């Protein structure tokens, strides 16, 4: 129902994004600033991946977590099983997809150590 109401109000919202991108890429100064911003975001995610892997090892994990830093992008397939993910939700209030996919954009310098400790706890055997 909301879609029916909203559609006439904003005929083609995707065009705004395309116009914005076109504007940025047409201006060399804006393009340079955008590339810099993207690099900052990518470096932050890479840093969080490294801190997560190192945190797991610091917590005493004997598992190989190199796949966390070998992957690229905003999402990380952790290798956690559905029961381990369920424990993260119930015991630590950490939410990720049931197949163990973590949104690295949500991992911050303030929560990465907590995440590492929780992941270690649910993967101990």
Task: Give pLDDT tens digits for 80-89.
Answer: 999 999 999 9
pLDDT, mean of residues 84-110: 97
* pLDDT above 60: residue 28: yes
d(CA 22, CA 16): 10
Q: Residue 61 — left, alpha, or beta (φ > 0 → left; ψ -120 to 50 → alpha)?
A: beta
Task: Give pLDDT tens digits for 43-95.
Answer: 999 999 999 999 999 999 999 999 999 999 999 999 999 999 999 999 999 99
- Cβ neighbours of 117 (radius 10 Å): 15
Q: What sign does the dihedral 81-64-94-50 (CA atoms) show?
A: negative
d(CA 122, CA 70): 22
């Amino acid at each position: 129902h909301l879609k029916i109401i909203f559609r006439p109000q904003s005929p083609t919202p995707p065009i705004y994004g395309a116009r914005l991108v076109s504007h940025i890429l047409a201006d060399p100064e804006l393009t340079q600033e955008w590339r810099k911003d993207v690099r900052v975001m990518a470096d932050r995610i890479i840093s969080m991946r490294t801190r997560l892997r190192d945190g797991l090892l610091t917590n005493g994990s004997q598992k190989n977590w190199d796949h966390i830093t070998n992957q690229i992008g905003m999402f990380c397939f952790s290798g956690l099983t559905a029961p381990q993910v369920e424990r993260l939700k119930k015991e630590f209030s950490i939410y990720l997809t049931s197949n163990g996919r973590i949104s690295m954009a949500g991992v911050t310098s303030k929560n990465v150590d907590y995440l590492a400790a929780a992941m270690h706890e649910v993967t101990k055997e």
